[in-house]
Amino acid sequence: MQSVSQSPTEPAFVQNPYPFYARARASGDLVFWEEFNMPCATTHKAVHAFLRDKRFGRECPAELSAKPPLHLSDFYALESHSMLELEAPRHTRLRSLVLRAFTSRRIKELAPEIEHLCHSLIDAFPEDAPFDLLPSYCTPLPVVIICRLLGVPEEMAPELLKWSNDMVSLYQARRTPEIEQTANAAARDFAAFMRSYVDKRRQSPADDLISELIAAEEDGAKLSTDELIATCILLLNAGHEATVHTLGNGVKTLLSHGGLVADSQTVEEILRYDPPLHMFTRYAYEDVTLFEHSFKRGDQIALLLASSGRDSAQWDTADKFDPARNVSTNHAFGGGAHFCVGAPLARLELLIALQTLHARCPNLRSAAPSEYANLYHFHGLKTLMVST
C-alpha cells in the first residue's frame, strides 16, 4: 500500500480537498494516510465494500477500548449509548426504535411544514443589503424541523445548536484542549437538559418521537434511560449538522453553475459533488485480507466518502457538476448497517429548501467569495453572502 501525506488542516486542502483525493485514488483503492496513521479506502468500489462488510464496524472491540480521559468523561458517557457508535445487537435494537418514527409516510407529511418554514425565513430576508444565507436560511430550517419531529421546544434551537456545534467539533482534525473541554461541557449540559425535559414530558405524551421513545423506555426491555437521552441527542445533532452544510454547499455550487433550479436528481448530484461529511472510520473485527491489505482485529480504516463521489471509474466526468446526472449508490449518506437514518428527511428538506428559494428569489446571486470552515472531516462553509 502506498503512503500519502496531507495535513487535513492545511488551508488549501480545507478549501479544496478533491485534488488530494484524486492523488490518493491514483495510488490505489487503499492508501496509508500518514497524518491519520491509518489506511484509507479511496475509491467507490473500496468504500462500498467496507461499508457493507460485517467484519468491520464502528464500535471499538471491547478488549481494545481504553477508559476515556476524565476531562472527556461526559462526552464518552453519551457516546457509549449512541447507536452511531454501536454494533448489533444494541445497534439493531436502537435503530429499529428510531426507524419506526422515520417512516416515509411521516416524513412526506412534513413537506407542507417545511415549505411554510422556508417561506417565513425568506420573508425575513433583508431586501437591499447582501446577507449571509447560512444563519438566515440554511441553519434554522433543519434545526427547527428536527426539534418539531422530536418534540423539543423550538425556542431551544439556539441553545441546541451551540451544544451540538461544540460537541461535534470533537470529531474534527483540528482538536485542541480547549475544544475538548468545551465539547465535554456541552455534552454534560445537553444531557442534563434532555434528562429534565424527558422527565417533564413523561406526564404529557404527544404525537412526536420523544413520546414514542419514552413509551419504549417505560416498557423497560426496549430502551434504558441513558439510551433514550443519547438517542435524542444524536438525532438532534445529526438531524441538522450535515443538512446545513449540504444546503450551503449546494447553493454555492448552483449559483456558480448557472442558477438555483433543482429537482431531486440535483440534490443527489450536490451530495455526490460536494458532500458535508468526508470521512468515517471502521474497526476490523477479525483478521482479514481485503484489497491486498491484511487487517488484524482492532485495526482501523478510514472510508473517504467524498473521494468515492469523485471516482471516475464510477462516474463519467466525475469532477464536473452535472445537475442532470443520474446518481445512484452515492456514499454521502454512508451504506450498510449505519446508512443514514435521516436520509429521506434530509433529501426532502434540501429539495423543498432549494425549490422555494429559487421560486421566491429568482435573482439570488453570490455577493462575496465564500470559504469552507477548517473542520475536516466536516466540509461546510463559514459564510455564504448573497443578494436577492
Q: What is the contact surface with ligand HEM in residues (CB under 6 A)? A: 58, 83-84, 95, 146, 234-235, 238-239, 242-243, 246, 275-277, 280, 305, 332-334, 338, 340-342, 345-346
What gap in Å lies between CA 72 and CA 169, rounded to an integer? 13
**Residue 190 or 280 having the CB closest to ligand HEM:** 280
Query: Whole-number minimum distance, CB 305 to ligand HEM, in Å?
Result: 6
Contacts of 155 (CB under 8 A, 6+ apart): none
What is residue 258's DSSP assignment? T
- Strand order from edge to edge, sheet including 30-33: 2-4, 30-33, 38-41, 300-304, 279-284, 56-57
Q: Which amino acid is at 203?
A: Q
In the complex, minimum distance from the CB of residue 72 to ligand HEM, in angstroms, rounded to a whole number: 20
Residues 91 and 83: their CA atoms lie apart, in Å, by 5
Give me the least distance between CB of 94 and ligand HEM, in Å please. Answer: 8
Strand ranges (E), the chain: 2-4, 30-33, 38-41, 56-57, 131-132, 279-284, 288-290, 293-295, 300-304, 365-366, 385-387
**CA 374/CA 166 separation, integer angstroms:** 14
**Which residue's CB atom is positioned nearest to ligand HEM?**
342
Query: Is the distance from CB of 42 to CB of 28 less than 8 angstroms?
Result: yes
Residue placing its CB nearer to ligand HEM in the complex, 121 or 147: 147
Considering the complex, what minimum distance in angstroms separates the CB of residue 69 from ligand HEM?
Answer: 23
Q: Whose Cβ is closer to ligand HEM: residue 46's or residue 84's?
A: 84
Q: CB–CB of 284/301 below 8 Å?
A: yes
The residue with cell 442532470 is 324
Name the residue nearer to ligand HEM (CB basis): 4 or 236: 236
Nearer to ligand HEM, 214 or 348 (CB): 348
- Minimum CB–partner distance for residue 194 and ligand HEM (Å): 15
Minimum CB distance to ligand HEM smaller for 164 or for 370: 164
Shortest spacing between CB 231 and ligand HEM, in angstroms: 8
